[in-house]
């Protein structure tokens, strides 16, 4: 008991500075979003050095939601939500069937599929942008929602297949056989037995793939112009009140806004994520 107490205390001592180190950039981003352009250039307007503003303001958030930057930020936020949700749903659904086949069926080339999926996930995104730009421009997919979802599948689908195949391999084959003995078809056994048991893994995979799509910048900046531009790309086009002023506050406010869904997802599905990662890592 004493040993466990000392071990927990040691982990706590190690965890606290790591948490502070991780949270510091987020707090700095939040503090910058609450400063005016004048406060950013005036250290006396802040406390704790130049960290936190003495008089926090919401004008940067008003700027991106209702002000001059709203025409750029709000459509980009809508595009990000649509593109990332659709890319995640398509990727996870396709990956479920592929991972199930890899985990349950014996066929030639099964290992090659996993190796190919892993290799594609490591393929440099920059190398795909130029040929995609040329093709998309010729067939009319440039600056469209489908034209951004398809490349995102190249990022999310291999990762989803690789992750879900590990989860499906942990599910006992006997449970599916028992359902089929009781009269269930293969589809019913998959839908009513396999999918519920794999739910933690599916949630974990969906959240990871959503993060990958949500944070993409290269495809978003290269394959869009105005109509399908997402938030990471839109931030590059923010401008200040003049050519000599950097839009730091507005960019930080937009960054805080797009970080909120990520934080909410992690907090809301924290237990499912932990359960999914644990079940995918433990054999037997």
Q: What is the CATH number of the domain that holds 251?
A: 1.10.3720.10
Band of pLDDT at residue 188, cut at 50, 70 and 90: confident
Domain that holds residue 39: 1-57
Contact by Cβ (8 Å): 201, 276: yes
The pLDDT confidence band at residue 7, using thresholds 50, 70 and 90, is: low
Residues 80 and 46 in one domain: no
Q: Answer yes or no: is pLDDT of 241 > 60.
A: no
CB count within 10 Å of CB 209 equals 27
In a domain? residue 63: no
pTM of the model: 0.81
- Residues of the chain with pLDDT > 70, as a percent, come to 89
Residue 240: pLDDT over 80? no
Query: What separation, in Å, do the N-terminal and C-terminal C-alpha atoms of the chain show?
Result: 29
Residue by residue, DSSP assigns 14-74 as HHHHHHHHHHHHHHHHHHHHTS-HHHHT-GGGEETTTTEESS---HHHHHHHTSTTHHHHH
Average pLDDT of every residue of the chain: 82
Note whether 35 and 123 are same-domain residues.
Answer: no
């Amino acid at each position: 008991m004493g040993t466990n107490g000392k071990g927990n205390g040691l982990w706590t001592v190690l965890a606290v500075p790591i948490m502070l180190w991780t949270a510091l950039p987020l707090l700095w981003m939040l503090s910058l979003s609450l400063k005016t352009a004048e406060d950013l250039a005036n250290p006396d307007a802040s406390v704790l050095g130049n960290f936190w503003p003495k008089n926090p303001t919401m004008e940067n958030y008003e700027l991106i939601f209702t002000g001059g930057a709203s025409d750029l930020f709000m459509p980009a936020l809508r595009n990000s939500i649509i593109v990332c949700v659709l890319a995640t749903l398509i990727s996870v659904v396709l990956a479920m069937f592929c991972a199930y086949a890899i985990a349950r069926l014996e066929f030639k080339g099964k290992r090659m599929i996993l190796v190919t999926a892993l290799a594609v996930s490591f393929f440099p995104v920059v190398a795909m942008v130029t040929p995609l730009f040329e093709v998309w421009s010729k067939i009319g997919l440039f600056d469209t929602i489908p034209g951004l979802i398809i490349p995102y599948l190249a990022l999310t689908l291999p990762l989803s297949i690789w992750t879900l195949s590990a989860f499906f391999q942990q599910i006992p084959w006997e449970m599916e056989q028992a359902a089929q003995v009781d009269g269930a078809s293969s589809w019913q056994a998959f839908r009513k037995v396999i999918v519920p048991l794999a739910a933690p893994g599916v949630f974990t995979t969906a959240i990871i793939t959503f993060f990958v799509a949500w944070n993409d910048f290269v495809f978003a900046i290269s394959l869009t112009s105005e109509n399908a531009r997402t938030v990471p790309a839109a931030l590059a086009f923010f401008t200040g009140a003049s050519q000599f002023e950097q839009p730091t506050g507005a960019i930080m406010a937009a960054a805080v806004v797009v970080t909120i869904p990520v934080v909410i997802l992690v907090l809301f599905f924290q237990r499912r994520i932990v359960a999914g990662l644990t079940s995918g890592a433990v054999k037997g």
